[in-house]
Structure 1
Amino acid sequence: MNPALKELLDLLDLEQIELDIFRGRSPAEQIQRVFGGQVAAQALVAAGRTVPAERAVHSLHAYFIRPGDPSVPIVYHVDRVRDGRSFTTRRVTGIQHGKAIFSMSASFHIHEEGLAHQAVGMPAVPPPEEVPTIQERLQAVVGDDPNWRDLLSRPRPVDLRYVNGLPWGSGEGETGATEQSVWFRYDEGLPDDPLIHVVLAAYASDFTLVDTVLLAHGLSWRSPRMTATASLDHAMWFHRPFRADQWMLYHQETPWAGNARGLARGQMFTASGELAVSVVQECLIRVSDVTKL
């Protein structure tokens, strides 16, 4: 297992400091704020540890309230809202410096037989083996720039492969692309615990949604016009069991942006084409001068 993934699994192994109270930390890196996917994943771990193993996560709805401070731990308080015969509901609040930075409601469900259909198919894209790695994509953009050498060589916890190229690989580009697809997979050998795979999908889900909104306007993280971006809220529905250490296609689209906000939707498919997860996120995007699409 690569050291970056091992470090991520360690971050997700929360310390229990009291009944329904857990403590998590952030990586020892020079970052301005905690990655939203980390907070959501840790909160989901906290909720899951108060629920019987036979009840799987089926949905979560979260709000990013304040930027997380990576220099101090995050305390997660779990409220046991309801334990029903079929469903379990939990509310989790992430706290730093005495204030809430994150709030999430999560629902868990026993397995039940019922109606089943899948009306949407997986987009036709090249298989992951034919898509360049993120390091290869980035190398083509930055060349031999020594300032990027450390980033290119640094192990990553998840293998992300942008089918359509890096949306943040250049400063600005053409507008109009409102969709993108990304293959992702964690190293093989993850534990069989279904909660781990759900949590790792939640972690990966926050990497590229803002990119999708920026892409529609020919912008990227490196654009000089960008002044602020942040995830505002995040919702996920888990439709079937899957393994995060097997390839999944994350197809995303943005139907709307306005009022300094943008909406992005995503669907995660297994490599065999089964819809496993649906995602919706609204994000904050501020630019120095506004140009409508």
Structure 2
Amino acid sequence: MTEVLEELVELLQLQPLGELSFRGNSENLGFRNVFGGQVLGQALMAGYKTVEGKDAHSMHGYFLRPGDHSLPIDYDVQIVRDGATFSTRRVIAKQNNKEIFAMIGSFQSPEEGLEHQFEMPEADGPEGIYSELETRRKFKELIPEKVRDQYTQDRPIEIRPIDPINYLAPDVRKPYKQNWFKAVAKLPDDPVIHQCILAYASDFGLLGTSMLPHGVTFMGKGMQVASLDHAIWFHRDFRVDDWLLYDMDSPSSSRGRGLNRGNIYNSEGTLVASVCQEALIRRRKK
């Protein structure tokens, strides 16, 4: 693994504080607050540390307060139920004794069942498509100096957007977008690591889908943007160190909120996960 990917895996490996309590460090990606994907991945890992013999099939979380990326995050797990097939965990993330995130995660024993899925939509690439990082470095002089280093540093997840937008001068588009993404190096075979890293990566780019029809981005002057909730359903096994297509849409935005959805496919066309998120996309009052 590369150093930045090793750091991400280490970030997800929480420190035990007690039988049902864990602590995770935070990273600064140049955003004002803790990156939501970090909290998603760590909360899922906290739940996994209290479950044996079952795999996560869904997680539903609410972002309650902004997180401070200069402080660690404590995760308290409550065992809601352990059944023969399903186990349920409630995970609360805290900083300064205040809840910043709450999640319910459900875990299932391996089981065979009826099978169907949406067909993978048409998509170019990923070969020959510039990554977000390559584009940022090419135009780094346009990035505000205070976040330039964070925005152009090596990243553990490579993202290759199809038909990318200019975040500093966005145009008006239909509410659809597609990204290819994968870890930058080979990961261990542990499926827990792959699920937690997918949870981490699923927060990149999703929120912006609901802003496409309005010609604005999170970097726009006067915009207040934040994730409000986030849900993931894991359908089938996958590897996040292979290319995955993130096919996103936004069916609605209203009342200062935008709804974003995404289906994640492997390169062979298998639907491996689905995501849904509502976001705050508010124009600040002058």
TM interval, shorter chain, is: over 0.9
In the superposition, relative to structure 1, how do residues 152 and 16 fare at CA in structure 2: closer, same or farther (>3 Å)?
closer
The separation in 2 between residues aligned to 1:88 and 1:205, in whole angstroms, is 23
Which residue of the other structure, out of 120, 127, 130, is the alignment partner of 2:125? 127
Aligned partner letter, 2:174? A
> In the alignment, what sits opposite 1:62?
61
Q: TM-score, normalised by structure 1?
A: 0.91
User: Does 2:188 align with 1:196?
Assistant: no
Q: What residue in structure 2 maps to residue 273 of structure 1?
A: 269
Return the alpha-carbon distance in structure 2 between the equivalents of residues 65 and 146 of structure 1: 28
Once the two structures are TM-superposed, the CA of residue 27 in structure 1 deviates from its matched residue by: 2.0
RMSD of the TM alignment (CA)?
Answer: 2.1
Q: Which residue of 2 aligns with 1:38?
A: 38
Q: Distance in 1 between matches of 2:191 and 2:261?
A: 24
1:218 to 1:141, Cα distance in 2 relative to 1, 3 A: farther
1:229-268 mapped onto 2 (5 Å cutoff): 229-268=225-264
Q: Match of 2:78, SS?
A: strand
Q: For structure 1, which segment, 138-147 or 12-21, has the greater mean C-alpha deviation from structure 2 after superposition?
A: 138-147
CA distance in 1, matches of 2:191, 2:72: 26
Match of 2:74 in 1: 75
270 and 17 in structure 1: CA distance in 2 versus 1, 3 angstrom threshold: same
In structure 2, what is the Cα distance between the partners aligned to 1:8 and 1:39? 12
C-alpha distance 33-222 of structure 1, shift in aligned 2 (>3 A):
closer
Mapped contact 2:61–2:102 kept (Cα < 8 A):
yes
Matched to 1:241, the amino acid is D
Query: How far is 1:65 from its partner?
Result: 0.3
Structure 2 length-normalised TM: 0.93
Work out whether residues 137 and 166 of structure 1, in 8 Å CA contact, stay in contact via their aligned partners in 2.
Answer: no
User: What's the counterpart of residue 210 of structure 1?
Assistant: 207
Is the contact made by 2:63 and 2:227 (CA closer than 8 Å) also made in structure 1?
yes
Check if 1:282 corresponds to 2:283.
Answer: no
Question: How many angstroms apart in 1 are the aligned matches of 2:148 and 2:46?
Answer: 36
Q: Once the 2 structures are TM-superposed, how far is the Cα of residue 127 of structure 1 from its aligned partner?
A: 1.9
Q: 1:200: Cα distance to partner?
A: 0.5
SS at match of 1:59: strand
Residue 152 of structure 1: how far off its partner (Å): 6.6
Instruction: Please say which of residues 259-268 and 216-225 is displaced more in the overlay.
Output: 216-225
Q: How does 1:10-159 map to 2 (within 5 A)?
A: 10-27=10-27, 31-52=31-52, 54-118=53-117, 120-139=118-137, 141-142=139-140, 147=145, 150=149, 153-159=152-158
SS in 2 for 1:130: coil
**Displacement of 1:209:** 1.2
Deviating above 4 A after TM superposition, structure 1's stretches of 4 or more consecutive aligned residues are 28-31, 139-149
* Identity %, equivalent residues: 43
Aligned residues: 285
* Aligned partners of 1:3 and 1:155 also within 8 Å: no
**Secondary structure of 1:123 counterpart:** coil
Structure 2: unaligned runs, 5 residues or longer: none
CA, structure 1 residues 183+31, in 2 after alignment: closer, same or farther (shift >3 Å)? closer
Change in Cα spacing, 1:188 to 1:99, as seen in structure 2 (3 Å) is same
Alpha-carbon shift at residue 2 of structure 1 (Å): 2.4
Q: Distance in 1 between matches of 2:37 and 2:271?
A: 21
How far the C-alpha of 1:114 sits from its partner, in A, is 1.2
Asked if the contact 2:251–2:259 (Cα under 8 Å) also holds between the matched residues in 1, the reply is yes
Q: Deviations over 1:50-78 (max 9, x none)?
A: 111x3111000000000011222211000
